[in-house]
């Protein structure tokens, strides 16, 4: 469903991505990891047709991301790390608006809206203004709006931001369910425990380059740590942070 060959993007201030080549299969939940500034968001923006690469090619659901942007956007869903919401709409009005953009028939729109409100435990908040929503509720309504037209491929940038453990579990279960039904999910997260529980495969970026890709078993063999957690693998491949000895509190008295 996603095929990337030699994808490169440079910025005047540095960073970007360099010669990325990988693929993601139909029905796969693929997690893209990397330190801040490694190029994860740039990759997603290219794959969703929001920015153009400097070189290389990419296709998503059979559409060239540079030449077939409108056709591409009909087939995908994209949730940014900080999604924009229309705060003067209720949650239900927002879902109807998003469904109408994608020309979802009214009957399907209303049925899916009800299902999503139930799944995300937001039934009582459906007719409240979004401006009254908590951070977690905003995150859930944003994800619901991405799912309303049943896209073939979902691109999710930090979808569990601001969610409590119960809501994060709901999101994990929903994403796993839709992948098992044939959708493809390409997501980023800094919560490695969530990534480890959810993913079919992982790609790890460092300084804009893909340093590893594969299942957890594959990655453990790559770093020769057969019982390693995803966090240990990530730090082995990207480098653990070195924290200097601080002088804080040395002279503090009780």
DSSP class per residue in 95-119: HHHHHHHTT--HHHHHHHHHHHHHH
What value does the mean pLDDT of the chain take? 92
Domain edges within the chain: 2-84+152-238
**Using 50, 70 and 90 to split pLDDT, how confident is the model at 254?**
low
Once rounded to an integer, what is the mean pLDDT over residues 197-213?
A: 92
Map tokens 């796993």 to a residue. Answer: 176
Q: Tell me what pLDDT residue 217 has.
A: 92
Map tokens 């991301």 to a residue. Answer: 65
Nearest to 156 by CA among 179, 136, 181, 175: 175
Which letter does DSSP use for residue 35 in this model?
S
Q: Residue 252: pLDDT above 70? A: no
Please report, rounded to a whole number, the percentage of residues in the chain having pLDDT higher than 70.
98
- ∠ CA 160-4-55, rounded to 5°: 115
Q: Tell me what pLDDT residue 94 has.
A: 97
Per residue in 93-139, pLDDT tens? Answer: 999 999 999 999 999 999 999 999 999 999 999 999 999 999 999 99
Global pTM reads 0.91
Which letter does DSSP use for residue 182 in this model?
T
CATH class of 2-84+152-238: alpha beta
Per residue in 159-202, pLDDT tens? Answer: 888 888 888 889 889 999 999 999 999 999 888 888 888 889 99
């Amino acid at each position: 469903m996603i095929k990337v060959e030699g994808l490169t993007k440079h910025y005047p201030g540095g960073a970007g991505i360099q010669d990325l080549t990988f693929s993601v299969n139909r029905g796969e939940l693929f997690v893209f990891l990397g330190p801040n500034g490694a190029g994860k968001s740039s990759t997603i923006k290219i794959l969703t047709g929001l920015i153009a690469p400097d070189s290389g090619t990419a296709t998503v659901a059979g559409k060239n991301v540079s030449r077939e942007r409108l056709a591409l956007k009909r087939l995908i869903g994209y949730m940014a790390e900080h999604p924009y919401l229309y705060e003067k709409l209720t949650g239900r009005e927002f879902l109807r608006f998003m469904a109408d953009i994608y020309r979802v028939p009214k009957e399907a729109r209303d049925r899916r809206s009800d299902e999503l409100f139930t799944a995300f435990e937001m039934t009582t908040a459906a007719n409240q203004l979004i401006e009254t929503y908590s951070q977690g509720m905003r995150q859930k309504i944003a994800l619901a709006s991405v799912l309303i037209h049943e896209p073939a491929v979902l691109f999710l940038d930090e979808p569990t931001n601001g969610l409590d453990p119960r809501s994060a579990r709901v999101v994990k279960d929903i994403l796993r369910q839709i992948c098992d039904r044939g959708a493809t999910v390409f997501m980023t997260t800094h919560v490695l425990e969530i990534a480890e529980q959810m993913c079919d495969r992982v790609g790890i970026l460092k300084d804009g380059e893909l340093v590893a890709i594969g299942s957890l078993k594959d990655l453990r063999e790559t770093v020769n740590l057969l019982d390693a957690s995803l966090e240990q693998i990530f730090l082995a491949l990207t480098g653990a942070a070195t924290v200097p000895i601080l002088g804080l509190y040395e002279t503090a008295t009780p």
